[in-house]
Structures are given as structure tokens and as C-alpha cells.
Amino acid sequence: MGVWDIYPAIDLRRGRVVRLKQGDPDRETQYADDPLHVARRWQAAGTAWLHVVNLDGALDEALYERGKQNLAALVRVLTTGLKVQFGGGMRDLGAVRRALDLGVSRAVIGTAAVENPALAEAALAEFGPERIALGLDARDGIVRTHGWKEDTGITVVEMGQQWAEKGVRWVIFTDVSRDGMGTGLNLNATVELAQTTEMHVIASGGVASLEDVRRTYEAGLSGVIIGRALYEGSVVLEEALHVGKE
């Protein structure tokens, strides 16, 4: 068994901790006003990592004030000393550099990897493959961009293989139809991506139970992101973290 980590999700919208159902900004549930309080809660449970998303950036809603709010929230979260995987609206090399300079451990590039491959290639060259991850979000096996709103016509496996050849080692795969729905992961598609690309694939979207977490470990994936299930109590983080130690 290789590396496997749990990533509690902190999704930021206008500085607040929220979750969206299927990436729909009109289907938002707010869980906290203070991201730092949430980060400390997951830290106390024993996590080493957090997965933080700038939803305003991912949804192309990064107006100046909103951008400031999420940036301030990220800075506060980083004071915990936890490793942070951060994405959302990474549209230029400067944004990637700023995040990593702040102390982010791994930056996630999604839309830009499709629309501006040169950016992702430059980020890989400058920061190395351990600090850059590819964010692949899909519906019905087809990659979507701009906060899951636009259909690219490219399959997840095709995109994954293209970037594996370019040196990407880390991928976060999200099945958009399941994200925030609590209906269980699309494990088959996630495992297929890992097997066909031989990259470190982190599962995301739809974790509903401890069994979902356990299945990602047993399938040999490199991690799992858990959001709504933690906030609503269907998964207890301490129990999830114990899975890899059983």
C-alpha cells in the first residue's frame, strides 16, 4: 500500500465555509463563518492535511472583495501549520506562485490545465510535480471546467493520460454529479483513472460513509477528500483517520 491521506474539505465562499450540491452556487449550505475554527477542529481530530477551495475563483466570481475574503481565510487556516492542498481559480502562474509562497503545500490547477496547458507546464517546471496537482472534474466521464459549468468534450482518462505524459503525479478526481450529494463515490471511474495513468489519484465527490473511505484505501488510491459527510456527521474524522492504521 502506497501513500494514502484523508483531506477534510474547507470550501470558501466570501470567506465562509460552505458546501455546494453538484457545484451549483444556488444550492449552498453554510457550515461556519470562521474557517480557522473549522481547521482547528479537523486538526484536533488528527488530520495532517486540509483541502481548501476558493469557490469564488472556481466559479469565476472572484470579484475583488470576495477574493480578499478568501485569501484572508486561507492565510488564517495556514496558521495551523497543517499541510494545505489549495485550488479554485488558479488561472495564471502568479496565482499559483502566491498560494505556494503563502505556505500552501500543493496547488491544484483545473480549468487552466484545459484552456492554458502552458500555465500548468510552467508551474510543473518551476515548482515540481509534488507541489502541483491536476484537478479533474467530470460529469458522465467528460471533463468540465469553470466551476463545472462548461463541457470540454474530453474524457477524464484522455486528459489524465495527456498530463501523466507531461509529468503530473497528483490528480484530484471529482464526479460532479455526486459532489455534495452524499450518494457515495464513483469509485470505478476513480480507480480506472489511477490504473490507466499510474498517477496518485485522490478521490472526491459524494463520500457518504466510513465504508466509502475504507474502499478508497483498499482500492489503492492515494487519498480521499471528505466534505459534507464530516460537517453533517455521517463520517467521524477520527474514525476515518483510523482506517489506514487498521
5-245 under CATH 3.30.390.50, yes or no: no
Region 14-28: mean pLDDT is 75
Q: What is the dihedral of CA 206, 4, 214, 77, to 10 degrees?
A: -50
pLDDT band (50, 70, 90) for residue 145 = confident
Nearest-5° angle of CA 40, CA 46, CA 48? 85
Per the CB < 8 A criterion, the answer to whether 189 and 156 are in contact is yes
Pairing of strands 200-204, 223-226: parallel
pTM of the model: 0.90
Which tens digit of pLDDT belongs to each residue from 63-87? 344 567 888 999 999 999 999 999 9
Which tens digit of pLDDT belongs to each residue from 98-140? 999 999 999 999 878 888 899 999 999 999 999 999 999 888 8
In whole angstroms, give the CA distance from residue 104 to residue 52.
10
Tell me how long the chain is.
246
Helix ranges (DSSP H) in the chain: 35-45, 55-58, 64-78, 93-102, 111-115, 117-127, 156-165, 187-197, 210-218, 228-231, 237-242
Q: What is the residue type of 93?
A: L
Residue 20, all three cell numbers: 455546494
Gyration radius (Cα) of the chain, Å: 16
pLDDT at position 55, please? 85
Which tens digit of pLDDT belongs to each residue from 185-241? 899 999 999 999 999 999 998 899 999 999 999 999 999 999 999 999 999 999 999
pLDDT at position 18, please? 82
Q: Which residues are catalytic?
A: 11, 137
pLDDT at position 23, please? 58
Return the domain boundaries, the chain.
Answer: 5-245
